[in-house]
Amino acid sequence: MPKTSSFKAIALQSPRLALLTLLAATGCSVIAPAPTTTISAADFASKPGDTDVKVVPPPEKSTRTTSSPAISRPGDAVTAVDVSQVIGPPPPPQPLDLRATPTPAPASESLVLDSLVGQINGNPVYASKFFRDTNLDASLAGKVNLLKNDAKWKAEAREDIRRALLDKVRDELVLAEARASLTPDQRKGLFYFIAQLREDLISGAGGSEATVDENLREREGKGIDEKVKEDLDTKLVQREIYQRVASKINVSWKDVQLEYDRREAEFNPAPKAVLRMVWLPADKPELIEQFTSRIAAAGSTPGAFKDVASTDGNLFNSGQGGIAERTFRKDAYASGDFFPAKELNDAARQLSVGGTVGPIETVGANTNLKRVAWIHLDSIETPPPRTLYDVQLALTRELRERRFKEESQKYLEKILNQGSFSDVKDMTDKLVAIASDRFLITQRP
């Protein structure tokens, strides 16, 4: 099949067409109905140096009766025909309405919007296509009025562009690997696969091909052909990742057991004692007497000690009801370590749920000032343990995901070292400059 110059131009503007170009060059054939050509606007894009297309206005209908001329067929000799005898005289020239003619963009602006900023595996990266394909045009334009600060806008734009560019580099390199790994038989099968993707897309949308194409252009800015190619590339990348990474990941039962043992405290958490304490200065007897009466009145009523510990005068975490949460070994509350001071710790060990002990004379650990304390055991929380069999599926999934990330990173580092692409920082700088001209300057009031 001859490769026309216009096809090359389209392939350069849309790197994802490279696979289809390669397939067409192999000369593979499939059994299909009579070919139907789908033409998009890109097929009519003029190349540099082409002459302007002149649009001839439709002729007026002739009121004269004329004889029908002979219809020429391919191969017939072409003879001069008096057009005025066939369709009548041409209509008078119409004045050009300049008001309906859009003002062309300045040449400098056109160059900026279509600027070539670099290449990935030999495929050019154009600014306008990059912003459109990554949906950055809408988000960057929206942030201009949202941030209302040029410096902040440029900082966020740089980070958004850098991330999108890294994703594009990764996707293009993986896609190139996927294309290169196809066998001749697999390339032949792609013709059927492409047709199936197209059929699924049309049937899934529940409309005709023309309707689906129109809806796609309105919703995503791309026609059905471009959408099919995009879906094909996605399938190829998924296949490549599975073959190179996912298929090599194996999680054994022994791996799951070791992970469970390593995280035993997470799956079998220790019991937690919820203690509350009132801590008063020893040199304020009136305050001590007030709290003594309140604590005695509270007794073992649930929540009553918390109310007392929340009042002003309590020096121990009164804002949260004097709470002190401490963990201890299972079935070992009586030997738990709850407080640094021995007298407080010994008193806490004697408590049962709902019990209160005090007053206890103690000394502040940091101030060495004498204190008087009461301790109340509010509750003991014992989370239910989770056995290995309870969490084996979750652990297997976590291990697979962790190893997938590790192997993916190794694979990406390999193809990044082998791939050919322009410096990411240099491309980012160019795209940020173009984005500033395109969105920041033009949209500022």
- Domains, the chain: 270-381 (3.10.50.40)
Query: Edge-to-edge, what's the strand order for the sheet holding 323-327?
Result: 323-327, 272-281, 370-381, 356-363
**In contact, 279 and 324? CB cutoff 8 Å:** no
Cα(233)–Cα(19) distance, rounded to whole angstroms? 9
Torsion of CA 180, 186, 192, 195, to 10 degrees: -20
At 6-27, the pLDDT tens digits run 323 333 333 333 333 333 333 3
User: At CB < 8 A and 24+ separation, what contacts does 363-369 make?
Assistant: 365/340, 365/341, 369/281, 369/282
pLDDT, position 110: 40
Cα-trace Rg, the chain: 39
The two tokens of residue 60 are 């007026």
pLDDT, position 395: 95
Cα 337 to chain centroid, rounded: 47
Question: DSSP letter string over 390-441?
Answer: HHHHHHHHHHHHHHHHHHHHHHHHHHHHH--B--HHHHHHHHHHHHIIIIII
pTM: 0.51
pLDDT, position 294: 86
**In contact, 314 and 280? CB cutoff 8 Å:** yes
Flag residues of the chain having pLDDT under 70: 1-114, 207, 365-366, 441-445
pLDDT, position 12: 34
pLDDT, position 338: 87
